[in-house]
Amino acid sequence: MGTQFRRLSCALGVVVVVGALCPAVSFAGDPDCSQEGPFTPFETIDGDNPVTMQNGRVIELRASNKSKCAWGRISYGTPGEEIWTDRKDPSANSHEGFLGYTRIDSGTAKYTEPFKNDGKVMRACGSSQGVIECTGWF
């Protein structure tokens, strides 16, 4: 509950005051990243990918072996629902969060910008109706 509350309050803080509550937020993807040759990595360290939320939203981490980048996708959603990626060193306990944070503005799906995962592990997280779920780390 505590982690989910901190994430939700941080996500809400992004909308109100970008950077004040969540200094690690990055909306722009990493240079030299592309979404070329995308695949969904199914063999994650500690969870599923993709994750289907109770309300049917799908949170998915996508990756490209060509650019060594990864990004998040939320699908079957509604406007206002959120998606972002987290990145960390495999041996670290802490992580960079809210990379590419974005919301569905129209339609039912949204992608984050791609971020380098070369030598790091990443996951995608999404928020729908006040519930946050994340994929496993890949």
Read off the pLDDT of residues 33-60 as tens digits, 9 standing for 90 and up.
Answer: 989 889 998 888 899 999 999 999 999 9
- Tell me the average pLDDT of the chain: 84
Name residue 121's beta-bridge partners: 88
**Which is nearest to 47 in space by CA: 105, 115, 127, 133?**
133
> What does the pLDDT look like over 117-133, one tens digit per residue?
878 999 999 999 999 99
The amino acid occupying position 44 is T
Regarding predicted confidence, which is higher, 42 or 5?
Answer: 42
Task: Give the range among 26-30, 105-109, 133-137 with minimum mean pLDDT.
Answer: 26-30
* Residues 114, 30 contacting (CB under 8 angstroms): yes
User: Tell me, what's the pLDDT at 69?
Assistant: 94
pLDDT of 99 above 80: yes
User: In whole angstroms, what is the distance from residue 102 CA to residue 72 CA?
Assistant: 10
pLDDT of 89 above 80: yes
User: Tell me, what's the pLDDT at 24?
Assistant: 52
Torsions phi, psi for 119 (to 5 deg): 85, -5
Kindly indicate the confidence band of residue 31, based on its pLDDT and cuts at 50, 70 and 90: confident
User: Tell me, what's the pLDDT at 10?
Assistant: 43
